[in-house]
Amino acid sequence: MTRADGRQLRPSGNSVDWDLFERYLGVSAEDTELCLLSSEAVEWFDFLLNPRRLRGSDFLMRWSQGVWSEQRILQAVNSTDEFFAIPYGPSGTAPEDDIRALELYFERLEAAGLGQHKRPDLLVFRKRSQDVVESLVASIGGPRELPFTPEDSSAIQELLSEAILAVECENSLWKGKLMPDYGAELKAQRRLGGKPGLKKNAVLPTLILKEEDRAPLRTWQHTHNIPIHIWHVFYDMAFGIALDKAEEVIGQGLILPTVQVFQAPGGATTRKVIYKIYYHYGYPLGDATQEPTLRAKFIEDKNGHILPYVHFDGGKMELRDEALTILRERAYGSP
């Protein structure tokens, strides 16, 4: 199977195995339907960004939003007097302002054979470990080299021994408090066999866990004995849930799988199973204390063709007491 830009797609069962670049910029059909609803239709099928085709501004806006949400988490953790965090997975250390540099970065990861290894996005440490952690990161060439350094290396092993928590980041382009079913109580649902839940089409904050990530994240957590939490950032607030808790509610049938269609920048689509976990099963992570600025930006191809998109810039988040309690329990033990 061949993409529009001539590169080969890798079949995987009944779907397509995207490379890292496409997996990072992939957008669910649900999100593309929400982007730029008031805009007139624009045909971007002839837009060529060397060497990929981008079918619309959706992908660039989601890219900007993903970078922004991780930065908000880093800012919130690093603003405390007790903890700090660093990017650890490939997305957190990827180039931010150059789409071509981003592609080359992920191609380097693929060439190094690291495309099949899942790492959590962030690592959280005690503040008192900051000098040690920064020295270790510098010894391997800086944050950008973290994803290219094998986890069995002595520097990474020492780095992981200092970590108290690992974070898998997700984000949604919603104001959580304004979602129609925010605050609704869970009630017995026939489709859940009488277990508590909400109507199938309820619109409320959820924490996303992808089926394809479940086994790799469990393996990483078991191998390194560092608990993983999913931290999901909305425009105005954020929620968290331990991976173990997410697995528990899925295993109990409290959350059913959802099949979504995802599209890559090159136009290829595939179906993926995700779990939308009600925020009721997690904990409040943080609240926005300053909203981001949405700026108009664009990229230009070698022929002078312009593709505009919305860029998320700034904003601040403050961790909730519930999140600080979890970090303190990990750092210092239960009170």
pLDDT score recorded for residue 116: 67
**Tokens standing for 230?**
């999913």
Per-residue confidence (pLDDT) for residue 110, from 0 to 100: 75
| Residue numbers of the chain with a pLDDT score lower than 70 | 1-59, 92-94, 96-99, 112-116, 264-267, 301-303, 305, 334-335
Tokens at residue 105, please?
């970065």
pLDDT value, residue 323: 97
Residues 6+ apart with CB under 8 A from 37: none
The residue ranges of DSSP E strands in the chain, in sequence order, are 10-12, 15-17, 27-28, 48-49, 52-53, 83-87, 122-126, 163-171, 187-188, 196-197, 206-210, 228-233, 237-242, 257-263, 269-278, 283-290, 293-300, 306-313, 316-319
Residue whose entry in the numeric block shows the structure tokens 């990483």 = 220
Do the strands 163-171 and 228-233 form a parallel or antiparallel pair, or are they unpaired? parallel
pLDDT at 21: 66
Please compute, for residue 125, the number of CA atoms within 13 A of its CA located in the half-sphere on the CB side.
20
CB distance 61 to 301 below 8 Å: no
The domain ranges of the chain are: 10-332
Q: In angstroms, rounded to a whole number, what is the distance separating the alpha carbons of residues 58 and 64?
A: 10
pTM for the full predicted model: 0.83
